[in-house]
Amino acid sequence: MARQSFGKRENEKKKQAKRLEKQKRREERQAGGTRSPEDMIAYVDENGNIVSTPPEERTRHKIRLEDVSIATPKKEELEAEPFEGRVEYFNDTKGYGFIKDLASTEKYFFHITSAPAEIAEGEIVAFEVERGRRGLNAVRIERTK
């Protein structure tokens, strides 16, 4: 790339030309007349087209304050039906295991704190499911047989 260098006089001439051009544009805008904010407002009609006329007044519907819902409605408390499954794996020294759901063959992790004291592999148990940090966990485990 070749750099062009200009002298001080040429740079001054360019600045002056820019100032004159800017002044000329400003004078043209002012000569065109002043525009009021009402002239700049645009409206959208019921079909989505931009128009310059305001829409006609329509009857307003009264909204009662009681009908306005600000928060998410609370979920109804449903009693969790216990699942039934078989203890697939249990490690007593590490304190955890897995229960395989009999209905869906889904496996759920459980910790020894939510299981009965003498639980063993192969036992049929009833349990509930709660969301844990890494997925669904079996909790409130009880022996069925």
| Phi, psi (degrees; rounded to nearest 5) at 6 | -120, 155
Q: What is the CATH number of domain 83-143?
A: 2.40.50.140
pLDDT on residue 132: 85
Say whether pTM exceeds 0.85. Answer: no
For residue 98, give the nearest of 77, 81, 123 by alpha carbon: 123
pLDDT on residue 5: 66
Residue by residue, pLDDT tens for the chain (145 residues) are 566 667 888 999 999 999 999 999 988 888 876 667 777 788 888 888 998 888 887 777 888 988 888 887 677 765 667 889 999 999 888 999 999 998 888 899 999 998 888 888 999 999 989 888 888 898 999 988 6
Domain boundaries, the chain: 83-143
**13, 6 Cβ separation under 8 angstroms:** no
